[in-house]
Amino acid sequence: MKLDLTGRPISGRLDALTNLTSLQFLYLSDTGVTGSLQALGNMTELQQLWLPGTKVAGDLQPLSKLTKLKQLSLKNTEVNGGLQALAEMTELQKLWLDGTKVTGDLQPLSKLTKLKELLLQNTEVNGGLQALAKMTELQKLGLHGTKVAGDLQPLSKLTKLERLRLKNTEVNGGLQALAELTELQKLWLDGTKVTGDLQPLSKLTKLKRLRLKNTEVNGGLQALAEMTELRKLWLDGTKVTGDLQPLSKLTKLKQLLLQNTEVNGGLQALAEMTELQKLWLDGTKVAGDLQPLSKLTKLEQLRLMDTVVEGDVGELIHLTNLMEADLSATRVSGRVTPAWRGQLLQLHTLKLKGSQVNFLPVGNDLKDLRATFVTNTTRQLLPALVNLDVSLCPLDGEVQNLLEPLSFAGHLASIRASGANLSGHLLKSCLCGVNVDGERYNSCCGLPLWSSLQGLELADNRIHRIEGIPANVYVSLANNSETYLNVTALRQALDSNVQVDLTATKISNSDDVATLFHDGVLHRTKQLTQSDRSRGFECYGITSTSLRVSPSSFWPQGLCACSAGFQGNGTTCHPCNPNTYNEHFNGSCVPCPSSSRAPAGATSAFSCVCAVGRMHSSESGNDCQCDALRALYQSEDDARTSSRASGDICEDCGKLNLDCQQPGLNASSAPPQVGYARLEEGAQRAYRCLEPTAEKRCSASSANGTGNVTALGCAVGHEGPLCVACSWGHRSRAGVCIPCEVASDAGTRWLYLRWVVGAAVFAGVLGAVIFLWRRSRSEPATARLEPTLWSVMQPLLAAQGPVLLQLFQLWGLLVALLDSQGKTGDEPTRADGLWAEEYVQWLLLTAQGLRDATSLECWFGRTANDVTALVGPCVPLALLVLCILPELASHGSGVSLVLKLLTLLYIGGASSSAALMRCQHTDGGKERLPDTYAFRTALPDTKCQEAAPLADSIAASCVVCYGLLIPSFLAYLMFKQHLSLAPSRRFVSLVAQKEGGDTVSVWPVEESEKSEPEQELKRKSLLAAAVARSCIYFRGAIRVQLQDERLILRPVQEQSGQEHDVNLDASSFVWTALGNKGDADLRRCQALERMLKERYVLEKAASSDRIVAGAKELFVKYAACQNVWFEIAMRIVAVALVAAVGSDNGLEFTLGFTLCTSLAIATIRPFRQHQVNDLQSFCFFCLAIAAFAFSTGRVLTARAALLAPCVMAAAQALKPDGPEALALRLFQDAEAQWPALEQGETVELSLQSISLL
- The mean per-residue pLDDT over the stretch 191-218 comes to 95
pLDDT at 88 (0 to 100): 92
Say whether pTM exceeds 0.85. no
> How far, in Å, CA of 211 to CA of 214, rounded?
9
- The mean per-residue pLDDT over the stretch 702-731 comes to 74
Closest CA to 670 of 661, 658, 657: 658
Tell me the three state secondary structure of residue 595.
coil
pLDDT at 764 (0 to 100): 64
- The mean per-residue pLDDT over the stretch 8-31 comes to 90
Q: Specify which of 20-24, 495-499, 676-680 reaches the highest per-range mean pLDDT.
A: 495-499
Are 369 and 381 in contact, with CB atoms under 8 Å apart?
yes
- Between residues 1239 and 204, which one has the greater pLDDT? 204
In this prediction, what percent of the chain has a pLDDT beyond 90?
44
Closest CA to 381 of 311, 327, 314: 314
Range with the poorest average pLDDT among 412-421, 856-865, 994-1003: 994-1003
pLDDT at residue 677 greater than cutoff 70: yes
> How far, in Å, CA of 196 to CA of 217, rounded?
5
pLDDT at 1116 (0 to 100): 67
pLDDT at 827 (0 to 100): 47
Per-residue pLDDT band at 360 (split at 50, 70, 90): very high
Q: Which CA distances in Å does 943 have to 725, 938, 939, 1174?
A: 14, 11, 8, 46
pLDDT at residue 162 greater than cutoff 70: yes
Query: Which residue ranges make up each domain of the chain?
Result: 420-568, 580-611+616-625, 626-724, 740-774, 836-980
- Between residues 116 and 951, which one has the greater pLDDT? 116
Per-residue pLDDT band at 484 (split at 50, 70, 90): very high
CB atoms within 10 A of CB 270: 26
Q: Specify which of 640-649, 825-834, 901-910, 911-920 reaches the highest per-range mean pLDDT.
A: 911-920
pLDDT at 330 (0 to 100): 96
> How far, in Å, CA of 848 to CA of 872, rounded?
7
Range with the poorest average pLDDT among 192-201, 700-709, 1095-1104: 700-709
Tell me the pLDDT tens digit for each residue of 424-482: 999 988 888 899 988 998 889 889 999 999 999 999 999 999 999 999 999 999 999 99
Closest CA to 852 of 750, 747, 726, 972: 726
Tell me the pLDDT tens digit for each residue of 517-551: 999 999 999 999 999 989 999 999 999 999 999 99
pLDDT at residue 1135 greater than cutoff 60: yes
- The mean per-residue pLDDT over the stretch 772-789 comes to 54
Tell me the pLDDT tens digit for each residue of 364-409: 999 999 999 999 988 999 999 999 999 999 999 999 999 999 999 9
> How far, in Å, CA of 554 to CA of 504, rounded?
8
Tell me the pLDDT tens digit for each residue of 1169-1182: 778 888 889 999 99
> How far, in Å, CA of 1224 to CA of 791, rounded?
12
pLDDT at 918 (0 to 100): 83
Range with the poorest average pLDDT among 47-56, 175-184, 1036-1045: 1036-1045
> How far, in Å, CA of 538 to CA of 551, rounded?
9
Per-residue pLDDT band at 825 (split at 50, 70, 90): very low
- What is the rounded average pLDDT for all residues in the chain? 84
Closest CA to 1164 of 1019, 1067, 1238: 1067
- The mean per-residue pLDDT over the stretch 672-682 comes to 89
Per-residue pLDDT band at 114 (split at 50, 70, 90): very high
- The mean per-residue pLDDT over the stretch 275-304 comes to 95
Closest CA to 449 of 464, 471, 434: 471
> How far, in Å, CA of 206 to CA of 267, rounded?
25
pLDDT at 750 (0 to 100): 57
pLDDT at 545 (0 to 100): 93
pLDDT at residue 1249 greater than cutoff 80: no
In this prediction, what percent of the chain has a pLDDT beyond 70?
87
Closest CA to 556 of 519, 601, 586, 520: 586
- The mean per-residue pLDDT over the stretch 1183-1209 comes to 88
pLDDT at residue 777 greater than cutoff 70: no
- The mean per-residue pLDDT over the stretch 1173-1198 comes to 88
Contacts of 520 (CB under 8 A, 6+ apart): none
pLDDT at residue 793 greater than cutoff 80: no
Tell me the pLDDT tens digit for each residue of 32-56: 999 999 989 899 999 999 999 999 9
- Between residues 260 and 983, which one has the greater pLDDT? 260
Helix axes 1077-1102, 1106-1115, angle to 10 degrees: 160
pLDDT at 1008 (0 to 100): 62
pLDDT at 847 (0 to 100): 66
Q: Which residues pair with 566 in a beta bridge?
A: 575
- Between residues 789 and 526, which one has the greater pLDDT? 526
Are 655 and 689 in contact, with CB atoms under 8 Å apart?
no
Range with the poorest average pLDDT among 36-40, 428-432, 1002-1006, 1147-1151: 1002-1006
pLDDT at 807 (0 to 100): 80
Q: What are phi and psi of 650, to 5 degrees?
A: -95, 105
Per-residue pLDDT band at 636 (split at 50, 70, 90): low
pLDDT at residue 413 greater than cutoff 90: yes
Q: What one-character DSSP code corresponds to residue 654?
A: H
Are 627 and 654 in contact, with CB atoms under 8 Å apart?
no
**Angle at CA 116, nearest 5°, toward 112 and 121?**
85
